[in-house]
């Protein structure tokens, strides 16, 4: 069949419906590509060929029976390994859950598969989603398909890399402070965090429950809209999912941006540490919006400068609470020779958790402790409120906001691993959206030294449609070739 990396999700579904190829042939092509590239990229913790074959056979049976196909029929999909799927392990890339078998399905994953997707495998991540490079995984780092010596970003690095390399057409990641959008920018993929509550979090192992959101990686804006159509909506199993109606996110993608009000978040463009070539690429993209008919102007979000500080109090505090359940008693890693229950807790956790997880658990426990709660956690929540208010004020005048996604392009493996503060700065542009619960999408807007540069578009609460419409217009205008070096070498 045609090279899988050149096909969109709609191409695959339509090709199967027209009997140009079968879903089983798509699955075989995906796993052939995995066989060729996975030893270099290491995007997956577990491959699921049996589940993919079963799903493909179901699609082919529907074709044979003349039934209408679901919207993602036959589309190869990767799943971040912090989301449950019966028949797989859910490890969170941690030794403490290395052998944990999924007892139920994550709602977003089940909806993706019910829409016809073929599960290729569970994708590598920073342990418990704590990181920005996928170097914190207990199973080793994932490598960026654009340059195998560089990181793919994190924490959803495996989900980003498998789509960038064409081993899957779409994938799911989770985003607590930028863990979808940041790796999307570093791998040249389209990566979206929906509005908080738009997609159920049920079955996704929690990092910070007031910040986490599941979203897609794709190679086109239209595919992102298709996946969001499939996974969005109220779920009675998740009290934080909302009853807001779910539109067809593909409906207005071709409407262009004429008359749309686009605000460049100027104070973010002036942040120290932003690479000049990133700033230039984002400003060039803003100029393209103006040329396409949008009204473009500067806007400031003053409280956003407090986002990083607030996040690294709120996030670890919630993580400390959520990870308390991993104690060696009910499930997960457990030492066999503990002298008492306290020894069991301490040694099981010390052996099971990696250094970054321990760092964040300790930080979160500290800021929640007596005497420090008001000084740290309480102040961080006040800063969060200011960020929400500043975004709300900006959206009184603008339909979409625009920032860089990351301060620099993909860095080399090991370059920041000994400097946590430098690593944390990778998410300086993405974190404010999680604190405010806003939707955001990262899309490629250019290159620097042969590596992708990401642009972040921000929408109003539950207005992913306008955000995606703007992204689709810019994507069509730029018409970038986002074929990574590893994929070019495979074609050669």
- For residue 485, the model assigns a pLDDT of 79
Residue 155: band (very low, low, confident or very high) from pLDDT cuts 50, 70, 90: very high
For residue 168, tell me if it sits in a domain.
Answer: yes
Report, as residue numbers or ranges, the catalytic residues.
80, 155, 179
Residue 330 in this model has a pLDDT that exceeds 90: no
For residue 291, tell me if it sits in a domain.
Answer: no
Give me the domain span that covers residue 138: 4-266+395-491
Helix (H, G, I), strand (E, B) or coil at 375: helix
The more confident residue out of 420 and 320 is 320
For residue 275, tell me if it sits in a domain.
Answer: no
Residue range 348-361: average pLDDT?
Answer: 94
Helix (H, G, I), strand (E, B) or coil at 260: coil
Q: Distances from the Cα of 133 to the Cαs of 74, 142, 157, 195, in angstroms?
A: 30, 8, 7, 24
For residue 298, tell me if it sits in a domain.
Answer: no
- Residue 53: CB atoms within 10 A of its CB come to 16
The more confident residue out of 489 and 436 is 436
Same domain assignment for residues 349 and 438: no
Residue 6 in this model has a pLDDT that exceeds 70: yes
Same domain assignment for residues 323 and 413: no
Same domain assignment for residues 247 and 378: no
Q: Calculate helix-pair angle for 307-322, 379-394, nearest 10 degrees.
A: 120
List Cβ neighbours of 175 (8 Å cut-off, separation of 6 or more): 156, 181, 193, 212, 213, 214, 215, 430, 434
Per the structure block, which two tokens stand in for 212?
Answer: 């986490």
For residue 281, tell me if it sits in a domain.
Answer: no
Residue 223 in this model has a pLDDT that exceeds 80: yes
How many residues are recorded in the chain? 492
Same domain assignment for residues 249 and 309: no
For residue 145, tell me if it sits in a domain.
Answer: yes
Is-contact 215 451, C-beta < 8 A?
no
Residue 1 in this model has a pLDDT that exceeds 80: no
Same domain assignment for residues 333 and 460: no
Per the structure block, which two tokens stand in for 310?
Answer: 């607030």
Q: Distances from the Cα of 108 to the Cαs of 7, 117, 159, 215, in angstroms?
A: 23, 12, 15, 9
Mark which of 348, 383, 418 sits at the end of a domain: 383
The sheet carrying 295-299 orders its strands as 44-47, 118-123, 76-80, 170-175, 213-218, 190-193, 440-448, 451-459, 400-404, 261-265, 295-299
Q: What is the mean pLDDT of the chain?
A: 96
Nearest to 224 by CA among 459, 488, 486, 484: 459
Tens digit of each residue's pLDDT (9 = 90 or more) over 60-82: 999 999 999 999 999 999 999 99
Residue 405: band (very low, low, confident or very high) from pLDDT cuts 50, 70, 90: very high
Residue 492 in this model has a pLDDT that exceeds 60: no
Residue 148 in this model has a pLDDT that exceeds 90: yes
Residue range 435-457: average pLDDT?
Answer: 98
Residue range 425-434: average pLDDT?
Answer: 97
- For residue 2, the model assigns a pLDDT of 59
Tell me: cis bond preceding 155? Omega within 30 of 0 counts.
yes
Per the structure block, which two tokens stand in for 230?
Answer: 């499939």
Same domain assignment for residues 376 and 401: no
For residues 403 and 264, what is the distance between their CA atoms, to the nearest angstrom?
6
Q: Residue 374: enclosing H or E segment and its boundaries?
A: none
Residue 491: band (very low, low, confident or very high) from pLDDT cuts 50, 70, 90: low
For residues 492 and 489, what is the distance between their CA atoms, to the nearest angstrom?
5
Residue 225 in this model has a pLDDT that exceeds 90: yes
Residue 487 in this model has a pLDDT that exceeds 90: no
Mark which of 383, 407, 424 sits at the end of a domain: 383
Mark which of 316, 348, 383 sits at the end of a domain: 383
Same domain assignment for residues 377 and 437: no
Tens digit of each residue's pLDDT (9 = 90 or more) over 368-387: 998 889 999 999 999 999 99
Is-contact 364 380, C-beta < 8 A?
no
Please state the domain count of the chain.
2
For residues 418 and 112, what is the distance between their CA atoms, to the nearest angstrom?
37
Give the rounded percent of residues in the chain with a pLDDT score beyond 70: 99
For residues 313 and 368, what is the distance between their CA atoms, to the nearest angstrom?
9
- For residue 488, the model assigns a pLDDT of 79
Q: What is the pTM of this model?
A: 0.97
For residue 239, tell me if it sits in a domain.
Answer: yes
For residue 49, tell me if it sits in a domain.
Answer: yes
CATH of the domain at 32: 3.90.1300.10
Report residue 280: phi and psi, to 5°: -65, -40
CA dihedral 147, 152, 184, 226 (to 10 degrees): 100
Helix (H, G, I), strand (E, B) or coil at 263: strand
Is-contact 308 424, C-beta < 8 A?
yes
For residues 441 and 418, what is the distance between their CA atoms, to the nearest angstrom?
29
Least confident stretch, 103-117, 216-230, 415-429: 415-429
Same domain assignment for residues 241 and 105: yes
Nearest to 428 by CA among 412, 407, 457, 408: 407
Residue 489: band (very low, low, confident or very high) from pLDDT cuts 50, 70, 90: confident
Helix (H, G, I), strand (E, B) or coil at 234: coil
Same domain assignment for residues 119 and 250: yes
- For residue 387, the model assigns a pLDDT of 98
Compute the half-sphere exposure of residue 122: CA atoms within 13 Å on the CB side of its CA.
Answer: 21
Same domain assignment for residues 34 and 58: yes
Give the rounded percent of residues in the chain with a pLDDT score beyond 90: 92
Report residue 275: phi and psi, to 5°: -65, 135
Report residue 6: phi and psi, to 5°: -95, 0
Residue range 308-316: average pLDDT?
Answer: 97
Same domain assignment for residues 217 and 312: no
| Alpha helices, DSSP H, located in 325-484 | 341-352, 355-367, 379-394, 420-424, 431-436, 464-478
Same domain assignment for residues 411 and 367: no
């Amino acid at each position: 069949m045609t090279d899988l990396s050149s096909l969109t999700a709609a191409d695959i579904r339509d090709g199967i419906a027209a009997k140009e190829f079968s879903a089983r042939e798509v699955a075989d092509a995906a796993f052939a590509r995995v066989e060729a590239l996975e030893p270099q990229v290491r995007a997956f913790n577990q491959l699921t060929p049996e589940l993919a074959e079963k799903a493909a056979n179901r699609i082919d049976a529907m074709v044979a029976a003349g039934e209408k196909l679901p919207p993602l029929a036959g589309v190869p999909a990767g799943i971040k390994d912090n989301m449950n799927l019966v028949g797989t392990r859910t490890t969170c890339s941690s030794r403490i859950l290395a052998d944990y078998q999924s007892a139920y399905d994550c709602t977003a994953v089940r909806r993706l598969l019910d829409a016809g997707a073929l599960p290729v495998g569970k994708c590598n991540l920073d342990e418990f989603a704590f990181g920005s490079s996928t170097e914190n995984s207990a199973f080793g780092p994932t490598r960026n398909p654009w340059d195998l010596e560089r990181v793919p970003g994190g924490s959803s690095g495996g989900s980003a890399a498998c789509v960038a390399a064409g081993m899957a057409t779409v994938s799911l990641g989770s985003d607590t402070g930028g863990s979808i959008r940041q790796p999307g920018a570093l791998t040249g993929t389209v990566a979206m965090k929906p509005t908080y509550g738009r997609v159920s979090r049920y079955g996704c192992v929690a990092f910070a429950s007031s910040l986490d959101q599941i979203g897609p990686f794709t190679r086109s804006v239209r595919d992102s809209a298709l996946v969001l159509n499939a996974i969005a909506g109220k779920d009675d199993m998740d009290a934080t999912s909302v009853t807001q109606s779910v539109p067809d996110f593909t409906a207005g993608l071709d409407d262009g941006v004429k008359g749309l009000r686009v605000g460049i978040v100027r104070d973010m463009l002036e942040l120290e540490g932003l690479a000049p070539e990133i700033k230039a690429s984002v400003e060039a993209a803003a100029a393209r919006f103006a040329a396409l008919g949008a009204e473009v102007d500067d806007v400031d979000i003053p409280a956003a400068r407090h986002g990083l500080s607030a996040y690294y109090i709120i996030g670890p505090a919630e993580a400390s609470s959520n990870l308390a359940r991993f104690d060696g008693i009910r499930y997960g890693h457990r030492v066999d020779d503990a002298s008492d229950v306290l020894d069991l807790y301490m040694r099981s956790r010390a052996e099971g958790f990696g250094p970054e997880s321990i760092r964040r658990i300790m930080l979160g426990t500290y800021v929640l402790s007596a005497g420090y709660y008001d000084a740290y956690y309480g102040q961080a929540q006040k800063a969060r409120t200011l960020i929400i208010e500043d975004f709300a004020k900006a959206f009184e005048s603008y339909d979409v906001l625009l920032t860089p996604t990351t301060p620099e392009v993909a860095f080399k493996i090991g370059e920041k691993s000994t400097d946590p503060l430098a690593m944390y700065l990778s998410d300086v542009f993405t974190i404010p959206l999680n604190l405010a619960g806003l939707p955001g999408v990262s899309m490629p807007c250019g290159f620097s030294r042969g590596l992708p540069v990401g642009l972040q578009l921000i929408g109003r609460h539950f207005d992913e449609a306008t955000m995606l419409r703007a992204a689709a217009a810019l994507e069509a205008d730029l018409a970038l070739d986002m074929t990574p070096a590893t994929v070019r070498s495979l074609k050669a």
